[in-house]
Amino acid sequence: MARLLSGIQPSGDLHLGNYLGAIRGWVAGQRGNDAYYCVVDLHALSGDYDPHQLARRTFDTALNLLAAGLDPDECTLFVQSHVGEHSRLAWLLECVANLGELRRMTQFKDKAGESESARVGLFTYPVLQAADILLYDAELVPVGDDQRQHLELTRDLAQRFNHRYGPTFVVPEASVPEVAARVMDLQAPTRKMSKSVSSPLGTIGMLDSPAEIDRKVRKAVTDTGGEVRYDPDAKPGVSNLLELLAAATGASPASLAGSFTSYGQLKAQTSEALVELLRPVRERYVELAADPAQVTAVLVAGAERASQVAGATFERASMAAGLLAPGSEPPRAQETAG
């Protein structure tokens, strides 16, 4: 039995990349493991967001995750800001992180560029992510390919903290799916599918209707030449469709390629497979949306369970870093070495 943790930003509208790259792995991982999953609303504050929408989106993201198959009897689902230790541990970790390693984070560079008005929260974002993970002694972190660098940083911070203050944190590993770890935009297949991209045809929503899925797959950009071949560099559009079909059917993208003689055939089968893959998610969403009190209860119980684990880890880390425990006598002064 392994300890798992992962998180997702509350965009409300989750997409196929989130589902195949991460959420499906969360659902598989909850069985037989001790799994913690959180909606990372504090991370959302680091970008442009509408404060009138955030709470609704946070709630709706939790609803989406339950619809996708998270089972509150098998895992702990909670909202990041409901467990105060996330922000508290982030500060301890900021005091072991250095400027250079945060400047190298590609997601920060992509979003902030050279702008002097970029938010400090965007810069320290990966440290808060490290706190999310380390608080739960997570051994495995199921994520898509784009999170690998943040996981490397988390490992570095855990190791540095352990080295400086004594063994405190478990050093986690990323768990990235073999296929569809980086689902690409259907209209621009060299760019990853994302919530923020303004190409509605390029992104398949997890709750899209069968007709919407079919329309988007059929309009997907393919490559020159009519041959169906798995070659992500030379044929990014076709390879993306093959990856999606492979993820939905359990076959490998390269082996599937041989069964099609035209792009049209590939699109028709991919569309059908994705419709069937997402159908149960959409159906469960409708059921759950009719009973929001159930979702609230899941989040209350989840925050309680998460707080117990997070509280114990935070106490361990703050003692290791030398903070005075609340209510305790000041320890006798020790000779400082050197």
Annotated catalytic, 111?
Answer: yes
Annotated catalytic, 195?
Answer: yes
Q: Which of 16, 298 has the CB closer to ligand TYM?
A: 16
Binding residue count for ligand TYM, defined by CB under 6 A: 26
Which of the ranges 71-79, 192-200, 230-238, 294-302 carries the binding residues for ligand TYM, by CB under 6 A? 192-200
Q: Which of 47, 166 has the CB closer to ligand TYM?
A: 47
Q: Which of 82, 150 has the CB closer to ligand TYM?
A: 150
Q: Which of 54, 319 has the CB closer to ligand TYM?
A: 54
Which of the ranges 4-12, 114-122, 250-258, 267-275 carries the binding residues for ligand TYM, by CB under 6 A? 4-12
Q: Which of residues 39-78 bind ligand TYM (CB under 6 A)?
A: 40, 43
Which three-class secondary structure string do you get for the chain?
CCEEEEEECCCCCCEHHHHHHHHHHHHHHHCCCEEEEEECHHHHCCCCCCHHHHHHHHHHHHHHHHHCCCCCCCEEEEEHHHCCHHHHHHHHHHCCCCHHHHHCCHHHHHHHCCCCCCCHHHHHHHHHHHHHHHCCCCCEEECCHHHHHHHHHHHHHHHHHHHHHCCCCCCCEEECCCCCCCCECCCCCCCECCCCCCCHHHCCECCCCHHHHHHHHHCCCCCCCCCCCCCCCCCHHHHHHHHHHHHHHCCCHHHHHCCCCCHHHHHHHHHHHHHHHHHHHHHHHHHHHCCHHHHHHHHHHHHHHHHHHHHHHHHHHHHHCCCCCCCCCCCCCCCCCC
Which of the ranges 125-133, 158-166, 247-255, 311-319 carries the binding residues for ligand TYM, by CB under 6 A? 125-133
Determine which residue in the list 141, 220, 248, 295 makes contact with ligand TYM, applying CB under 6 A: 141
Annotated catalytic, 219?
Answer: no
Q: Which of 118, 319 has the CB closer to ligand TYM?
A: 118
| Residues engaged in binding ligand TYM (CB under 6 A) | 5-9, 17-18, 21-22, 40, 43, 129, 132-133, 141, 143-144, 146-147, 150, 181-183, 192-194
Q: Which residues are catalytic?
A: 111, 192, 195
